[in-house]
Structure 1
Amino acid sequence: MQRKGKWLLTALLIFGLLFPLVGCGKKEEVHTVRIGEVTHSLFYAPQYIAVSEGFFEEQGLKVDLKTTWGGDKTMTALLSDGIDIALVGSETSIYVYAQGSSDPVTNFAQLTQTDGTFLVSRNKVENFTWDQLKGATFLGQRKGGMPQMVGEFVLKRHGIDPHQDLNLIQNVDFANIANAFASGTGDYVQLFEPTASIFEKEGKGYIVASFGEESGHVPYTTFMAKQSFLNENPEVAEKFTRAIYKAQKWVDSHSAQEIAKSIESQFEDTPIDIIETVVERYKSQGSYAQNPILDEKEWNNLQNIMDEAGELPKEVSHDTLVNTSIAEKIMKE
């Protein structure tokens, strides 16, 4: 009986030693995904929620996120394999396709569905109307980029010819537009957040209108990758999209205050009250997409805006550069 008890104790000890090793053997492999974001903005709050709330980590993904500053630089990084996934305007995928790429860039998960810029006036304007811009110096965004095209689209809707009725400046690099305005260039400027709200708080400018509210739904910023990457890494693409979709639902169901608290550490130079203000502004105008699907109506609206701006190199069908199957699969789970 005593010998039997010793044998049982020995067996339990051996099992206890082996069990952790068995568990380790089943541990899921961690994949590193390199993301290049066109700018670092609260406009992309769901992406930062996926980081801060651990949604990427839950999927076994380690995210290497860097800001690539501008659509052209972001696309260059993607095409040269400097990054795996780009967060940038969908128009860039059309530009690449029109150049005859053998490995097209495919949009697979949408993050924002409106323009994210605001019209900022140097002087405080009471009862703003768009015709007040006529004759003014307007510091716009880079030619051929989504902000510039949407900006011109909205101006035309209000009866303003951007190239005839304004002194339009478009030769300032994307990363330097805010500094140029702060230094005295322009009567009006088209700015992203949180810069627009920071300028307003500091008395450097005043938000008078939202281009996002004026332009309607458009696939303004999407996650895209080369088709070869999606073909070779289907599980990674699914895990990535699953994390983004969970973050989108989290943003939709939480307050601006809760969102601001979650992503505060990723915007160390921005006061928490500004983060909250900006997030609330984007939430209220429906800028954050509620799911990752880039639908055909939005795609056609994008091309209409590009065509009107004279920047559409060729019309491209939705199913040529957009993959909704990944998002659809995730949403059915």
Structure 2
Amino acid sequence: MNKFNLKGSNAKTLWHNATTNYSHWISFIFLMAIAVLVNPSFLSWKNMTNQFVQGSIVGICAMGMSLIISAGMIDLSTGSAVAIISGLGVTVLNSTQNIFVTFVFCITFGVVLGLVNGTLITKGNIAPFIVTLATMSAFRSIIIQIGQGGPFTVEKSMYDSFRAITAGKIMGIPNLMVFFIVVSIVTAIIMTKTKFGRYVYSIGSNEHASRLTGINVDKVKIMIYAYAGLLYGLAAFLLASRLTSIQAASAGDSYELDAIAAVAIGGTSMSGGKGKIMGTFLGILMLRIISTVLVMANVPPFLNGFVRGVTIIIAVLAQSRKRSNKMEANA
């Protein structure tokens, strides 16, 4: 009898560890299985690379969001930041006729916007939700005003060379897919192998204790938003290359929601202190799979936003339940 209970206890422990540490993999495999059942050709190379391409730009933004949420903060300005950077980036490209200058501008401007958010939050002592809600509105209004409601379109002289950045392939792998994977690897290294990454998790776990241990919390927070801004700049550059015409009112629309959803379903704690870059990576792919399955099932595309919202709620509820079970086990 004791032996039976022991085996049952071990099985329960293994299941608990699996659902706690590898929930993102379990969810990903489950969704893949559903997609294959709906359409057996879903696993084709063409379709899988298309999933990557469709999710790569917002995926790059999600990597920055991973750091922000891991530190116990939030950023609602993601989509608006991408819109203003990409719109002005096209303007710079048309003026300079130089792709490298445009790239540097987008990256630099992204960092500047990130520094604005981070500085207002730390030095102004304002909640991240309020600051980024304000900058979300401000960034979008500014770019709409600059463009007078019209699009920012790449001139014909630069169209082919600029479009090739995202339309091209490296050894059969789409460039956008390469950008997404490289950014994910770099972000994972930063978060797991550097002192900065440890500081991010420490601040998310207990900001007061982090200050007491000598961590310059304000500096780290500003650096987090600066890094996120850098990735928004890269995403904006790639978006401009892919579309070649930026609609100020709709560019980057809902990017922040997709990024937050990917981070949540990827296993990162929404209260901070625990994050999984690989989880966010898979989270983006899961969102794409969900959207694709809905299309294959003839579900109206207007319900995608509803599905994202439900996904976030389910992920947060699952995290809350895990915390409650952990507290009960430690009691």
Fold in common (TM above 0.5)? no
Q: Comparing both structures, which one devotes a greater share of its residues to strand? A: 1
Return the structure number with greater relative CO, CA threshold 8 A, min gap 6: 2
Q: Comparing both structures, which one devotes a greater share of its residues to helix? A: 2
